[in-house]
Amino acid sequence: MKALAVAANTVRETLRERLMYNLAIFGLILIGGSLTISQLTLGEQFRIIADIGTGSTQLFATLIAVFLGVAIVARELDRRTCYAALARPVSRGEFLVGKYLGLVAVLALNVAAMAAATALMLLVYRGSGDAFGLHFVAAFLLILVQVALCAAFAVLFSSFSTPTLAVILTLAVIGIGHVFGEVRGFWLTSPEVGLKSVVRVLDFVVPNLGLLDMKEALTYGDAVAPLSLLARVGYGLGWAGAVVALAAVVFSRKDVR
């Protein structure tokens, strides 16, 4: 309950951030313009709208997760506003988890808004709701899980480093996670035995963000298996939970005096 109280306060604070609105509005404008952009192609309008909608949501939600994830911890320490909360019977772990949960709630609002904008553009183009099946839900649900994981790393790195370094480290992990998701299959099929050993190690130390990406299911109308979707969501949430738990341990040992 204490963590939820911190989360509710974090939501109120985060909703006043201008950076979030700037990024979100820019993403919504880009999604809104996808209908016009799609007219530049012949026969690929639906795919263009879907690509721009999901891609913009992923990009701008990730940026919001990274910059706000770093800020919610660094700002509390710089302004010493966390002292009042920590002076009460609120553990450092509960404080950090509450901050993270509040951030995820705000990210969910942003992803939902961009998903709604994408749905509106697809509805205007198609004139029907036949595109809003499980593949639509899967694409945006996994984007939310992905940005929640990005936010977890942002909170982790900001718990022991400077804001600038935390942003750099978080973006580096995100980049590595995407690259690993792309090359993992090639390494497993490679005749080099050493690469397979590297993959086994990286599976435990690097999140495979490729598993949390089903944008193509919406773009090409591919069928989505519910069990596969649940497994991917569980994978992402498991990683996020582990990272936040590690962040709570690090923050509990940090000297904030």
Give the amino acid at 16: R
Q: State what percent of residues in the chain have pLDDT above 90.
A: 35
CA distances from 13 to 76, 110, 111, 152, 182 (A): 11, 15, 18, 18, 37
Residue labelled with tokens 């069928």: 223
Give the pLDDT score at 128. Answer: 63
Q: 227-236, long-range: CB within 8 Å, 24+ apart, which pairs? A: 229/134, 229/138, 229/141, 229/142, 232/142, 232/145, 233/141, 233/142, 233/145, 235/208, 235/211, 236/142, 236/145, 236/146, 236/148, 236/149, 236/207, 236/211, 236/212
Range scoring the smallest mean pLDDT among 83-92, 196-205, 232-241:
83-92
**Where do the H-state alpha helices sit in 80-91?**
82-87
pLDDT band at 217 (very low <50, low <70, confident <90, very high): confident
Give the pLDDT score at 255. Answer: 65
Residue 136 has pLDDT above 60, yes or no: yes
Taking residues 89-106, what's their average pLDDT? 85
C-alpha torsion sign, points 211, 225, 51, 29: negative
- Angle, helices 45-79 vs 18-32, to 10°: value is 180
pLDDT band at 16 (very low <50, low <70, confident <90, very high): confident
Give the pLDDT score at 82. Answer: 60
Residue 245 has pLDDT above 80, yes or no: yes
> What is the separation of C-alpha 44 from the centre of its chain, rounded to a whole number of angstroms?
28
**Which is more confident, 36 or 101?**
101
Residue 87 has pLDDT above 60, yes or no: no
Determine how many CB atoms are found less than 10 A away from the CB of residue 95.
23
Nearest alpha carbon to residue 213 among 256, 184, 243, 255: 184
Residue 190 has pLDDT above 60, yes or no: yes
Taking residues 177-203, what's their average pLDDT? 74
Q: Encoding tokens for residue 120?
A: 């509106």
pLDDT band at 143 (very low <50, low <70, confident <90, very high): very high
